C-alpha cells in the first residue's frame, strides 16, 4: 500500500500532445562513459538502463552527439549517421519494454569536448574563449556555415530518434555545453546575428528548437516529446544570471515545448545574482512559466520525503539521477509503502547487484563527493 503522503509522486501526468506518464518520477540524463568504441550502445549500457526503467515513468538517456566535433565524453554513444539508428533502436526498445517512455538527449559539447575525441583535436565554440578551468583549450570560433550545419544536425538527430522508436528528444542546453555556450556572455563574444545582446545570444538555442520541432512535424507519425534542459546560472563573470534565464524561459515557453528541465545539482539552490528574490531558482522559474509549459526539477533528491517536498513547489515532474543509480527500485519501494527501505548510500561491493558498467562504476567510486560511498 502506498503511503498517502507519497501519492502525488505516483499520479499519472499527460503532456499537451497526449503522451501519458504513469507517474511523476523520471530517470535523469546521466553520462555513463560505457558505449562501444564505434559509437554504438554497449550491452553493459543496455543492461544498466533496463535495470532502471521499470518503475520510473520516463527515462532520459545520456547525451548523444550528432556532429563529429560535438563528442563530449569517452564512451559516449553516437547519433551522427543513419548507421547508428539500429544502435539507438536497441536502446529505445530496451527502455520501452520495461514500461517507461524513452527520451533521447541530444547535444554538442562545444568547448567542453576533450580534444582527443574530436577531428584534428580542434575544439569549437561560439567564440575563441576557453572555459575557466585548468588546461582548458581555446576553442576555434565557429563560422556561420558551421553553425547552420550544427543546427541541421540537431534536426537529423531528431529524425533518427523518431526512426529508432524513441518517444521524444531532450535538447541539452545545459551544463556548459555548446547551446549554453551560445547563450552565455562568457563564451559568446560574437558581434554578428549569433551574439551580442541577450536576445541575440538566444538566436542559436531558439534556432535549434525550431529545427527539432520541424523534424518532428515532418517525420513523426505519432505524438513525440520535445523537452529543453538548461542551467539557470553560471558562476563566471560575465556569465548567465537569473535575469538572463528568465528571458530564456519566457522565449522557450512561447515555443510549445512539452517540458523545460532545470539542471541543478541541488533542487533547493538559490539564485546568485540577477533577481531580488530569496526563493529557490526552481520556484522562481515555476512561477514565471509553469502555467505555460511543464517544469521538471532535479538535484540531490534521495528520499521519498525529499521528493514529496519537491513536488509541493508546484512543479509537475521530478527527475532523479544519482539516487536511481544507488537504488534502482526506488519507485517500486514508494509504491509498495516500503519507502523506509530506500537505500541512499553505495557500498564498494554493489556494482554487480546494481548493474553498473565498469567505466561508470570507476567514475562513481573515484570521484570524491559525487556519490555517498561507504567502504
Q: Round to whole Å and give the CA distance between 346 and 364.
A: 9
Confidence at 306, pLDDT banded by 50, 70, 90: very high
Averaged pLDDT, 153-180: 99
Percent of the chain residues topping a pLDDT of 90: 99
- What's the pLDDT score for residue 78? 98
- What's the pLDDT score for residue 261? 98
Instruction: Evaluate if residue 127 carries a pLDDT over 90.
Output: yes
- What's the pLDDT score for residue 193? 98
3-class SS string, 116-175? HHCHHHCCEECCCCCCCCCCCCCCEECCHHHHHHHHHHHHHHHHHHHHCCCCEEEEEECC
Q: 355 — alpha (psi -120 to 50), left (phi > 0) or beta?
A: left
Confidence at 268, pLDDT banded by 50, 70, 90: very high
DSSP 264: -
Contacts of 139 (CB under 8 A, 6+ apart): 110, 111, 123, 124, 125, 127, 128, 129, 130
Q: Which residues pair with 295 in a beta bridge?
A: 260
Q: How confident is the prediction for the chain on average, in pLDDT?
A: 98
- Assess contact for 112 and 176: CB atoms under 8 A: yes
**Does residue 373 sit in helix, strand or coil?**
strand
**Interval 75-121: pLDDT, tens:** 999 999 999 999 999 999 999 999 999 999 999 999 999 999 999 99
**Interval 172-207: pLDDT, tens:** 999 999 999 999 999 999 999 999 999 999 999 999
**Interval 343-367: pLDDT, tens:** 999 999 999 999 999 999 999 999 9
- What's the pLDDT score for residue 51? 98
- What's the pLDDT score for residue 230? 98
Q: Round to whole Å and give the CA distance between 365 and 349.
A: 11
Select from 236, 244, 247 the least CA-distant residue to 186.
236
Radius of gyration of the chain (CA): 20
- What's the pLDDT score for residue 375? 78
Q: In terms of pTM, does the model score above 0.95? A: yes
**Interval 28-41: pLDDT, tens:** 999 999 999 999 99
- Assess contact for 124 and 108: CB atoms under 8 A: no
Confidence at 264, pLDDT banded by 50, 70, 90: very high
Averaged pLDDT, 262-266: 97
- Assess contact for 17 and 223: CB atoms under 8 A: yes
Instruction: Let me know if 14 is exposed, middle or buried by CB neighbors in 10 A (0-12, 13-18, 19+).
Output: exposed
DSSP 266: S
User: Residues with catalytic annotation?
Assistant: 177
Secondary structure element (H or E) that encloses residue 48, with its range: helix 43-52
* CATH topology classification for 4-374: TIM Barrel (3.20.20)
Averaged pLDDT, 282-309: 98
- What's the pLDDT score for residue 12? 98
Other CB atoms within a 10 A radius of the CB of residue 32 amount to 24
DSSP 78: B
Amino acid at each position: 500500500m502506498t503511503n498517502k503522503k507519497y501519492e502525488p509522486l505516483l499520479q499519472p501526468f499527460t503532456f499537451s500532445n497526449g503522451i501519458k506518464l504513469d507517474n511523476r518520477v523520471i530517470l535523469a540524463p546521466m553520462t555513463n562513459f560505457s558505449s562501444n568504441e564505434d559509437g554504438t550502445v554497449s550491452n553493459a549500457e543496455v543492461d544498466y538502463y533496463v535495470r532502471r526503467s521499470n518503475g520510473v515513468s520516463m527515462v532520459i538517456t545520456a547525451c548523444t552527439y550528432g556532429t563529429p566535433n560535438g563528442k563530449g565524453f569517452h564512451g559516449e554513444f553516437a547519433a551522427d549517421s543513419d548507421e547508428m539508428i539500429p544502435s539507438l533502436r536497441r536502446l529505445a526498445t530496451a527502455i520501452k519494454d520495461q514500461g517507461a517512455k524513452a527520451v533521447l538527449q541530444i547535444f554538442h559539447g562545444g568547448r567542453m569536448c576533450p580534444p582527443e575525441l574530436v577531428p584534428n583535436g580542434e575544439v569549437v565554440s561560439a567564440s575563441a574563449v576557453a572555459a575557466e578551468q585548468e588546461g582548458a583549450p581555446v576553442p576555434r570560433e565557429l563560422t556561420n556555415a558551421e553553425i547552420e550545419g550544427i543546427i541541421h544536425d540537431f534536426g537529423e538527430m531528431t529524425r533518427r530518434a523518431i526512426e529508432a522508436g524513441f518517444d521524444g528528444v531532450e535538447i541539452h542546453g545545459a551544463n556548459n555545453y555548446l547551446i549554453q555556450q551560445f547563450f552565455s556572455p562568457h563564451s559568446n563574444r560574437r558581434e554578428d546575428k549569433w551574439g551580442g545582446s541577450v536576445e541575440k545570444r538566444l538566436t542559436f538555442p531558439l534556432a535549434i528548437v525550431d529545427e527539432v520541432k520541424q523534424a518532428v512535424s515532418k517525420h513523426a507519425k505519432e505524438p513525440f516529446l520535445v523537452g529543453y534542459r538548461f542551467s539557470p546560472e553560471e558562476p563566471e563573470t560575465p556569465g548567465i544570471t537569473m535575469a538572463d534565464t528568465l528571458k530564456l524561459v519566457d522565449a522557450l515557453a512561447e515555443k510549445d515545448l512539452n517540458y523545460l528541465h532545470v539542471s541543478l545539482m541541488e533542487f533547493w539552490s538559490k539564485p546568485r545574482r540577477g533577481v531580488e528574490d530569496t526563493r529557490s531558482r526552481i520556484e522562481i522559474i515555476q512561477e514565471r512559466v509553469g502555467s505555460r509549459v511543464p517544469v521538471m526539477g532535479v538535484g540531490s533528491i534521495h528520499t521519498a520525503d525529499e521528493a514529496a517536498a519537491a513536488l509541493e513547489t508546484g512543479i509537475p515532474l521530478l527527475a532523479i539521477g544519482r539516487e536511481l543509480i544507488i537504488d534502482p527500485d526506488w519507485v517500486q519501494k514508494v509504491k509498495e509503502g516500503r519507502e523506509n527501505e530506500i537505500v541512499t548510500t553505495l557500498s564498494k561491493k554493489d556494482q554487480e547487484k546494481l548493474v553498473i558498467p565498469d567505466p561508470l562504476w570507476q567514475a562513481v567510486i573515484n570521484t570524491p563527493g559525487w556519490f555517498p560511498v561507504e567502504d
